[in-house]
Amino acid sequence: MSKPRTHPTARRDFLSRVGQGAALAATGGLVWSYLLHQQARANPAAVRPPGALAEADFNAKCIKCGLCVRACPYDTLKLAEVGEDVAIGTPYFTPRTIPCYMCEDIPCKVACPTGALEPGLEDITKARMGLAVIDIENCLSWQGLRCEICHRECPVQDTAITVEHHPRRISKHAMFVPLVHSEYCTGCGLCEEACPTDLAAIRVLPPKLVQGKIGEHYRLDWKIDTPVTQEFRPSEAAPSEPQTGLPSALDYLNEGEP
C-alpha cells in the first residue's frame, strides 16, 4: 500500500467539510432540543391517568401508544393531538367532561407497556392524578347555599372532601363549606364534573401547581405529635414519654433561656 498523495488543500477542504457538517448537526440539534422542551412544557396543568409518573419521567417513558386510552371503559382518557395544548401524543383527561371513575383494577395502568403509569400502583385511592382546588369566590357553599355536591360526589367521601362549619357574616347561621384534603384527594375529578356552577368552582390541577409548603421551622405544636428540636426540625422518633423537667413555656418567656 502506497501512501496516497494529497494535495495540501485537500486536507483543509476535508477538515472544513467536517467542521461544516458538525456545525450543521449542532445547529439542528439545538433547534430540535428547543422544540422538545417547548413540547414537554406544553401544558403543566394537564391531568394524567392514575399512576402517571412525575411529569419529566412520564414524558420520557410514555411511548404514546394509546393502550391506556383504549383500556379505559369510560372513554375518559384522550391522546393529545397535534395542535392541542397538551404535550403531543400523551394521554390526559378533562375532568369537567369525563372524570376518572377510579376502576378498582386500574385497567389503564395494566395496559401501559412501558411503566409510564406506575406498575406498582395497586390501590386506586393511592393514585394522585391531581388535586381538587376550590374557588371560594364562586363556590355556592361559600355563598351560604347548601350545595355540597362535590362532597356527595366524591368517591373518597368524607375523607378527601369534608364539609366544615364556617361563620357567616350576615346572619348567625353557619355556612357549610367543602374542604379538600390533599392527603386523600386522588384527583379523579368527579367533583369538578358535578359542580353546578357555569364554570366549575372546584377544579382538578396537578398538585405542584397549587400546593404550597410550610417551612419546617414553624412549630405547629397542636398538630404534630413529635417534639420540635432546637434545630427547628421535627425529631425522627416519636416521644415515648412526655418529657419532664423542662421549663414551661411561661417560664421560658418570663425568665429567659435557662
Partner 1 sequence: MSAPRKRVRLGPNGRPVRPFVMPRILSGRLWVWRYILMRRAVQIAVLVLFLGTVHWGWALAGRPLLLGNLSSSELLGLVPMADPFATAQILLTGHLLEPRVLIGAAIVLLLYGLLGGRSWCAWVCPINPVTDLAAWLRGRLGIRDMFHISRSIRYTVLALALILSALTGMAAFEWVSPISMLHRELIFGMGLGWTAVLGVFLFDLVVLRHGWCGHLCPLGAFYALLGRIAPLRVRFDTPTCTHCGECARVCPEPQVLNLKKASEAGMIRSGECTNCGRCITVCPEDTLRFGLRVPGAGSAMPPQSVISQRRES
* Residues within the interface to partner 1 (CB under 8 A): 21, 25, 28-29, 32-33, 35-37, 39-40, 56-57, 59-61, 63-67, 69-70, 78-84, 87-89, 111-115, 119
**Residue 34 beta carbon to partner 1: minimum distance, rounded to whole angstroms:** 10
Alpha-carbon torsion angle 211, 213, 219, 222, nearest 10: 20
Q: Which is nearer to partner 1, 100 or 112 (CB)?
A: 112
**Residue 31 beta carbon to partner 1: minimum distance, rounded to whole angstroms:** 10
**Residue 89 beta carbon to partner 1: minimum distance, rounded to whole angstroms:** 6
**Residue 115 beta carbon to partner 1: minimum distance, rounded to whole angstroms:** 4
Partners of 157 in the beta sheet? Answer: 161
Instruction: Give, in order, the Cα–Cα distances in Å from 181 to each of 89, 119, 174, 251.
Output: 32, 25, 21, 37
Spatial distance between the Cα atoms of 201 and 129, rounded to a whole number of angstroms: 18
Q: Which is nearer to partner 1, 109 or 203 (CB)?
A: 109
**Residue 73 beta carbon to partner 1: minimum distance, rounded to whole angstroms:** 13
Instruction: Give, in order, the Cα–Cα distances in Å from 97 to each of 45, 60, 203.
Output: 15, 27, 12
Q: Which is nearer to partner 1, 19 or 28 (CB)?
A: 28
Spatial distance between the Cα atoms of 9 and 191, rounded to a whole number of angstroms: 74
User: 234: left (phi > 0), else alpha (psi -120 to 50), else beta?
Assistant: beta
Spatial distance between the Cα atoms of 23 and 20, rounded to a whole number of angstroms: 5
Spatial distance between the Cα atoms of 132 and 192, rounded to a whole number of angstroms: 8
Q: Which is nearer to partner 1, 36 or 145 (CB)?
A: 36
Q: Which is nearer to partner 1, 45 or 88 (CB)?
A: 88
Q: Which is nearer to partner 1, 107 or 234 (CB)?
A: 107
Cell numbers linked to 63: 411511548
**Residue 229 beta carbon to partner 1: minimum distance, rounded to whole angstroms:** 38
**Residue 92 beta carbon to partner 1: minimum distance, rounded to whole angstroms:** 12
Q: Please say whether the dihedral angle defined by the alpha carbons of residues 155, 158, 160 and 163, taken in this order, is positive or negative.
A: positive
Q: Which is nearer to partner 1, 68 or 180 (CB)?
A: 68
Find cell 397538551 and name the residue.
86
Instruction: Name the DSSP letter for residue 159.
Output: T
CB distance 195 to 99 below 8 Å: no
Name the E strands within 16-113.
78-79, 91-92
